[in-house]
Amino acid sequence: MVVLGLETSCDETSIAILDKGIVRANAVYTQSIHSRYGGVVPEMASRAHLQKIDRLCRVVFDEQAIGLDKIDLIAVTDRPGLAGALLVGISFAMGLSCAGAKPVIGVNHLEGHIASVTLQHPELAFPFLALVVSGGHTALYTVTDFGAYTLLGKTIDDAAGEAFDKIGKMLGFTYPAGRQIEQMAATYTGGNPILFPIARVEREGINFSFSGLKTAVKYYLAKQTPQFIEENKGHLCYSVQKAIIDALVRNVEAAVKLTAINRIAVVGGVACNGALRAALQSVWSSSVFFPSLVLCTDNAAMIAKAGYENYTRGIHRFPSMTPEIEENQNRSGLLKHKSGLQTDSVTAATPP
Ligand code: KG4
Ligand code: ZN
């Protein structure tokens, strides 16, 4: 089965081809326009997707020397994300579906991130724990199969990547700041972090909170001179990164204890972070799994994989034309039952 994957939920336009579960192409265009604004500007993101998606699709088809006739399934991210940005991908997918009489399936973006790890690690057996750490999401799931997730906990405010980005902005980095913070943190070799507080969330579930860290750093910086901040940037970045990593590791430890599952997948943009990888590997060594860097950040290969696995299991949701954004979706959209699919949104694959 050849699957065409489409991803436009935020600031990456991506098109992928998956053939029998193997990635043949995974073209990713990252919108650079947002860096000057310190975050993603939704309207600009939608326009940039519109400008790129058709051309990117043609390039992938040309490179692979295939056409729509060779595609068996179209998988598109339809939630959660920026409504306008999602609609570009969904409309494009629907257009291709109509033109080629191809089935089309809606994929939850977080499900895509979880599936990303399975592209390179077929040995990762179910059940496993999934730590989704990205710019928009931070959550822990038990994964018993593709399409079957139990939410163990999530952030009650900022996502881990958002914390990197917002604190990075305070420190003078451009958006997205995670990689820049990691690089700057690596210049500090003292091993003596400034102890920024990380909240323990005592509510039900293994939840996360990063907004207190952001505030603590803000007040800390307000008391320093610009020269001090500049001269100690490595130390500051090291300390911020360590606080975020410690919180993530602590909650994974709690999830392992709660579920007695010690196979862990770590996915999403923050999973690119080398210090996070090292910290998790130092505890769980070879039972912690990461996608390659290009598959951690937003990409269509992971959407194609999740769509393919769900479709072959008979889990099929027609893409929603009214993308349900986080607030309407229990934040992550992945609920405590199979695939988070509501029965009224499951329809046949036949295009109109
Ligand atoms: O998964 P992703 O591409 O988009 C979302 O679905 O949100 O993740 C982007 C996030 C950004 O917040 C970015 O700062 C963060 O991933 N990120 C990193 C690193 N690389 C990307 N955070 C920490 N260290 C990194 N090396
Ligand atoms: Zn993402």
pLDDT tens digit sequence for 81-94: 999 999 999 999 99
Looking at the CA of residue 298, tell me the nearest atom of ligand 1: 3
The burial class, CB within 10 Å (0-12 / 13-18 / 19+), for 2 is middle
Nearest CA among 35, 62, 36, 32 for reference residue 48: 32
The per-residue pLDDT for 201 is 78
Angle at 289 between CA 200 and CA 18, to 5 degrees: 125
pTM higher than 0.85 for the full model?
yes
Q: CB–CB of 340/334 below 8 Å?
A: yes
Mutate to test the pocket of ligand 1, among 272, 280, 326 (most ligand atoms within 8 A of CB): 272
The per-residue pLDDT for 323 is 62
CB under 8 Å to 345, separation ≥6 — which residues? 106, 317, 318, 320
**Cβ of residue 273 lying under 6 Å from some atom of ligand 1:** yes
Closest-approaching ligand to the CA atom of 112? 2
pLDDT tens digit sequence for 177-203: 999 999 999 999 998 999 998 877 766
**Cβ of residue 80 lying under 6 Å from some atom of ligand 1:** no
- For residue 135, how far is its CA from the centre of ligand 2 (angstroms)? 7
Helical pair 160-170 and 178-185, crossing angle rounded to 10 deg: 70
- For residue 136, how far is its CA from the centre of ligand 2 (angstroms)? 7
Closest-approaching ligand to the CA atom of 110? 2
The per-residue pLDDT for 19 is 97
pLDDT tens digit sequence for 272-304: 999 999 999 999 999 999 999 999 999 999 999
